[in-house]
Chain A
Amino acid sequence: MATTAISVTHERENYLNKEYGVKSWLLTTDHKRIALLYLLSITFFFFIGGFFALLIRLELLTPAGDLVQADTYNKLFTMHGQVMVFFFLIPAVPAVLGNFLVPMMIGAKDLAFPRLNLLSWYLLIAGGALMLYTILTGGVDTGWTFYTPLSTAFLNTHVITAAVAIFIAGFSSILTGLNFIVTIHRMRAPGLTWSRLPLFVWANYATSIIQVLGTPVLAVTLALVGLERGLHLGIFDPQRGGDPLLFQHLFWFYSHPAVYIMILPGMGVVSEIVACFSRKRIFGYKFMALAVIGIAVLGFLVWAHHMFVAGISLYAALVFSLLSYFVAVPSAIKVFNWTATMYKGSISFATPMLYALGFIGLFTMGGLTGLFLACLGIDVHVTDTYFVVAHFHYIMVGGMVMAYMGGLHFWWPKISGRMYPENWGRLAAMIIFVGFNLTFFPQFILGYLGMPRRYWQYAPEFQVLNVLSTAGATILAVGYLLPMVYFLWSMRYGKIADANPWSAAGLEWRTPSPPPTHNFEEPPVVTWEAYNYDELKEAPGER
C-alpha cells in the first residue's frame, strides 16, 4: 500500500504546487487542475441559482404577488432552472469529480484528450458568461424548457442569448462525454478489465453515452428556436401548420435523459462511499454495472412521459408510460443493492456516509414518486403542479446534490491534501437533510391539492404549506453555506491528509494526496477486483 509519511506528503511535488501563477492554471491540461477550475465555476453558478431559488421561495411566502413583479418572478424561476440544470447539475459530478477521478481510477496519466478537456471548460465558461450577460441585461422568462410558440413568438426577453449560452455549454458537455468514453475504452491500466472497474467509472461511462447522444439533439432544437425567432423560420410555428409538440419531443429527447446525466454519476459516487464505509464489496456488482448502462439506454425511451397531457396520441402515451416503468426497474435494483451492501458490513458514519445514506433515502422517495408520474391516470392530475417540482428536486437536489456533497467530502483529502472538520461536516449534512425535506415534502401535498407550478400568486388555501417550504429553504441555504466555509478553512488549517485516510479500495487512493501531475510514479498493473475490502485488512481506527 502506498501510504506515504505525512511530512513527506506535504513537501513532495504535487499537481497543486508544481507550478504557480494564473497562466499555469488557465492553460493547464492536467485533468486535476481542470477539475478544480470546474469546481470553482460551478460553485459560483450554484450560488447564483440558489440565490434565485431563495427569491422564489420568499415571493411564495404570501399568496399575493408582492415581493417582485410577475415578469421578474418568471425570470427568476427560468434562470434558476437554466443556471442550475445547465451550469451546475450537468457538469457537477462528471466535470468535477469525474474529471479528477476517472483517469486515476483507471490508472491513466490523464484523459485521452487533455486539450479538448481544457476546451470543454472554456466552452462552459463562454456559455456561462453569456448566461450571466443574459441575466444582467434583463434576463429571460421562457421557463427552462423554452416551450414554443411562447419562446419563439411571444416573449421580448433575451431568449436567443440564453439559447446560445446553453448551446455552447452543451458542447462542453458533449466534449467531456466524448473524452470520457475514449479514455475509459483506451486508457485503462493493464489488468483493469471492464468487470474490475469501479462503479463510479461505470456511472460516468453511462453518463457520457447520454451526453454524446442526447445533447446534440438539444443543440439543434435550440438552434431551430433561435432561427425561428431571429430569421422567422417556421418549423414549430402553429400559424404555418408547424407543431409545437415537435419541439417538446425533441427537447425531451435530450432533457429526460439529461436527468440521468445528473443522477447517474451521483449513483456512482454513492456506490464508492457505501462500499468504503461498510468495508465491503458492493452487493451485486455486475447488476449494479448493468443497471447504470440499462438506465442510460432505457432513459432514452421514455421522454414523452413529460407530455401525457400535451396532446400526444393516446397510443403514444400508453407506449411511453409502459417504457417509463422499465426504467424504474434498474433504479430499484440500485437502491436494494446499496442497502444489501450494508448487511453484515462494518459501518462507520463519517460525513460522506451520512450524505450517501441521505441520498439513498431521498432518491428512494424521488424514485417512488416517479412511479406516480409515469402512471397515466395520476400524471394527468399532478403534472405541471408542485408534485412534479417536488419529485424532480428529490431526484436532483435530494439525490444528485447529496451525492455530489458526499463525493466532495470523500475525495476532499485527495483533492486538497487536507481533511475537512469532521464534526462540522456531519452537522452540515444533517442540516441539509432536514432543510431539504422541509422544503420539498410540503410541495408533494401542494401538488396533489392542485397548485400549478410557475405561479407567481396562488390561492390562499395553499399558504401554510408554502410557508413551511420557504422555512425549509432557509435552513437548506445555511446547510449549503457551511461546507463552503469549512472547505475553504480546511485548505489552510485542515489536518494534513495521508494518501488513504479512509483505507479505501480504488486506484486513486494508491497515489499520494494530493497526487503528482501524472498521478502514478509507476503505471499500475491491476490484479484485483474492485472493492476488495476483504483483502484490505486495516480498518481505520478512530474515524
Chain B
Amino acid sequence: MSDSEAVLTHAPGLQEHFATMEQQRDASTMGMWVFLITEIMFFGGMFTAYMVYRHAYPAAWAAGSEHMDFWWGTINTVVLICSSLSMAMAVRAAQTGARKALVPLLILTMALGCAFLGIKAVEYHGHWIEHQFPGPDFRFAGPDPRHVQIFFSLYWAMTGFHALHMVIGVGLVAFIAFWGWKGRYTPEYYNPVENVGLYWHFVDIVWIYLYPLLYLISHKHVM
C-alpha cells in the first residue's frame, strides 16, 4: 500500500527485491485486492449483524428507516458515484501520463469526498438533536423503541466506519495528489494511484449497499 516512498535506486520506481516492473505491479495490485478482501470481511461482520437483526425485528427496521433522511442519502449516493468517476478518470490520467489532468481530477475527487462527509455531518447532527443516538438519551416515539435502538446502533456503527474510511480515503488522495503534482508518477510507475483508486471505489461500493439497506427499507419516506 505504502509503496510510494521513493525507491529510486535502479529503474525509477522499481524496488530492488523485485526482478521486473511487471512483477512489482502485479504484486502491488494483488496486495491491494487482498487488503480489500480484509475490508469486505471487516464490514461483513456488521452486515451480518444487520441481517440477523433485520430478520428478527423487521418492523423496527422499517420504523427506524423512516427516520433516515431520504434526500440527503440519495444525494450522497450521487456525490459518491461522481467521485468514483473522477477517481477513475484520475487513474486513467496517471496511466496515460496526463499530469495536467491528474492533479485537478484528484482534487475534484477530494472535494466530492469532503462534500459527502459534510452532508453526512448534517445528517448526524439531525439525528443527534432528535435523540436518535443510542444510549440513555435515546428517544423514539413508536411501538418498539428498544429494537429501533439496535437499528440506530448499527446505523451509527456502519456509517461511522464508512465515514472513517472516507476520511482516510481523502487523506490518501491528498497524498497522491501531492506526489502527482511533484511528478512522481509515470505511465510505467503509477501503482500508488491505482491502489488508492481501488480503495476509493471499494468505499463507494460499501455505500452503494448501505444506501438501500439503511435508507430505503420503508416505502414511507419522511419528506
A touches B (Cβ under 8 A):
yes
B-contacting residues of A (Cβ < 8 Å)?
A: 108-116, 119, 174, 178-179, 181-183, 185-187, 212-217, 219-221, 223-224, 227-228, 231-235, 239-243, 246, 249-250, 253, 518, 523
Asked whether A217 lies within 8 Å of B57 as measured between CB atoms, the reply is no
User: Which chain B residue has the least Cβ–Cβ distance from A235?
Assistant: B153
Interface mask (B23-47 → A, CB under 8 Å = 1, otherwise 0): 1001100110011011111111110
Counting chain A CB atoms within 10 Å of each CB, the highest count among B34, B35, B44 belongs to B34
**Chain A residues near B142 (CB-CB < 8 A):** none
Asked whether B30 lies within 8 Å of A182 as measured between CB atoms, the reply is yes
Asked whether A216 lies within 8 Å of B135 as measured between CB atoms, the reply is no
Least CB distance from A31 to B in Å reads 9
> Is B134 at the interface (CB under 8 A from chain A)?
yes
Asked whether A241 lies within 8 Å of B146 as measured between CB atoms, the reply is yes
Selected from B30, B48, B135, the residue in CB contact (under 8 A) with A231 is B135
Q: List 18 A-B contacts (CB under 8 A).
A: A108-B17, A111-B17, A178-B35, A182-B27, A187-B17, A212-B37, A216-B41, A217-B41, A217-B42, A219-B42, A231-B156, A233-B153, A234-B135, A234-B149, A241-B57, A241-B150, A242-B53, A518-B17
**Chain A residues near B156 (CB-CB < 8 A):** 231, 233
Least CB distance from A28 to B in Å reads 13
Selected from A174, A182, A234, A518, the residue in CB contact (under 8 A) with B153 is A234
Cα-based distance from A403 to B23 in the complex (angstroms)? 34
Least CB distance from A307 to B in Å reads 14
Asked whether B17 lies within 8 Å of A232 as measured between CB atoms, the reply is no
Counting chain A CB atoms within 10 Å of each CB, the highest count among B17, B56, B153 belongs to B17
Least CB distance from B163 to A in Å reads 14
Selected from B5, B16, B31, B43, the residue in CB contact (under 8 A) with A113 is B31
**Chain A residues near B40 (CB-CB < 8 A):** 216
> A227 and B157 in contact (CB under 8 A), knowing A119-B2, A235-B49, A518-B17?
yes
> Is B67 at the interface (CB under 8 A from chain A)?
no
Asked whether B52 lies within 8 Å of A113 as measured between CB atoms, the reply is no
**Chain A residues near B5 (CB-CB < 8 A):** 115
**Chain A residues near B44 (CB-CB < 8 A):** 216-217
**Chain A residues near B15 (CB-CB < 8 A):** 114
Least CB distance from A252 to B in Å reads 12
Selected from A110, A212, A223, A250, the residue in CB contact (under 8 A) with B17 is A110
**Chain A residues near B161 (CB-CB < 8 A):** 220, 223
Cα-based distance from A112 to B2 in the complex (angstroms)? 12
**Chain A residues near B30 (CB-CB < 8 A):** 181-182, 185-186
Interface mask (B96-119 → A, CB under 8 Å = 1, otherwise 0): 000000000000000000000000
Asked whether B27 lies within 8 Å of A186 as measured between CB atoms, the reply is yes
Interface mask (B1-29 → A, CB under 8 Å = 1, otherwise 0): 11101000000000111010001001100
User: Which chain B residue has the least Cβ–Cβ distance from A185?
Assistant: B30
Cα-based distance from A474 to B64 in the complex (angstroms)? 58
**Chain B residues near A112 (CB-CB < 8 A):** 17, 27, 31
Cα-based distance from A234 to B48 in the complex (angstroms)? 15
Asked whether A523 lies within 8 Å of B19 as measured between CB atoms, the reply is yes
Cβ < 8 Å to A, chain B residues 38-74: 38-46, 48-49, 52-53, 56-57
Asked whether A216 lies within 8 Å of B49 as measured between CB atoms, the reply is no
Cα-based distance from A289 to B45 in the complex (angstroms)? 30
Q: Which 3 A-B pairs have the closest CB atoms?
A: A232-B135, A220-B45, A216-B42
Cα-based distance from A109 to B16 in the complex (angstroms)? 9
**Chain A residues near B136 (CB-CB < 8 A):** 232
Least CB distance from B2 to A in Å reads 6
**Chain B residues near A182 (CB-CB < 8 A):** 27, 30-31, 34
Least CB distance from A398 to B in Å reads 31
Asked whether A250 lies within 8 Å of B150 as measured between CB atoms, the reply is no
User: Which chain A residue has the least Cβ–Cβ distance from B4?
Assistant: A115
> Is B147 at the interface (CB under 8 A from chain A)?
yes
User: Which chain A residue has the least Cβ–Cβ distance from B47?
Assistant: A220
**Chain B residues near A241 (CB-CB < 8 A):** 56-57, 146-147, 150
Asked whether B34 lies within 8 Å of A250 as measured between CB atoms, the reply is no
Assign chain B's interface to a size class: 35 or more
Counting chain A CB atoms within 10 Å of each CB, the highest count among B19, B26, B45, B153 belongs to B45
> Is B81 at the interface (CB under 8 A from chain A)?
no
User: Which chain B residue has the least Cβ–Cβ distance from A119?
Assistant: B2
> Is B216 at the interface (CB under 8 A from chain A)?
no
Asked whether A240 lies within 8 Å of B147 as measured between CB atoms, the reply is yes
Asked whether B149 lies within 8 Å of A246 as measured between CB atoms, the reply is no
Least CB distance from B39 to A in Å reads 7
User: Which chain B residue has the least Cβ–Cβ distance from A245?
Assistant: B52
> Is B154 at the interface (CB under 8 A from chain A)?
yes
Cα-based distance from A242 to B151 in the complex (angstroms)? 10
Asked whether A240 lies within 8 Å of B150 as measured between CB atoms, the reply is yes
Cα-based distance from A220 to B162 in the complex (angstroms)? 12
Asked whether B38 lies within 8 Å of A215 as measured between CB atoms, the reply is yes
**Chain A residues near B39 (CB-CB < 8 A):** 216
**Chain B residues near A240 (CB-CB < 8 A):** 134, 146-147, 149-150, 153
Asked whether B147 lies within 8 Å of A224 as measured between CB atoms, the reply is no
Least CB distance from B105 to A in Å reads 27
Least CB distance from B202 to A in Å reads 13
**Chain A residues near B48 (CB-CB < 8 A):** 249-250
User: Which chain B residue has the least Cβ–Cβ distance from A109?
Assistant: B17
**Chain B residues near A523 (CB-CB < 8 A):** 19
Selected from A111, A119, A187, A224, the residue in CB contact (under 8 A) with B157 is A224
Counting chain B CB atoms within 10 Å of each CB, the highest count among A119, A179, A220 belongs to A220
**Chain A residues near B1 (CB-CB < 8 A):** 113, 116
**Chain B residues near A110 (CB-CB < 8 A):** 17
Asked whether B38 lies within 8 Å of A221 as measured between CB atoms, the reply is no
> A246 and B49 in contact (CB under 8 A), knowing A115-B3, A216-B41?
yes
Cα-based distance from A227 to B43 in the complex (angstroms)? 15
**Chain B residues near A217 (CB-CB < 8 A):** 41-42, 44-45
**Chain B residues near A250 (CB-CB < 8 A):** 45, 48-49
Cα-based distance from A96 to B89 in the complex (angstroms)? 42
**Chain A residues near B153 (CB-CB < 8 A):** 228, 233-235, 240, 242
User: Which chain B residue has the least Cβ–Cβ distance from A243?
Assistant: B52
Cα-based distance from A424 to B198 in the complex (angstroms)? 54
Asked whether A216 lies within 8 Å of B38 as measured between CB atoms, the reply is yes
| Extra A-B contacts (20), CB below 8 Å, given A178-B34, A212-B37, A227-B157 | A110-B17, A179-B31, A181-B34, A182-B30, A186-B27, A187-B17, A187-B27, A212-B34, A213-B41, A215-B38, A216-B40, A219-B42, A231-B134, A232-B135, A234-B153, A235-B153, A240-B146, A240-B149, A240-B150, A523-B19
Asked whether A174 lies within 8 Å of B26 as measured between CB atoms, the reply is no
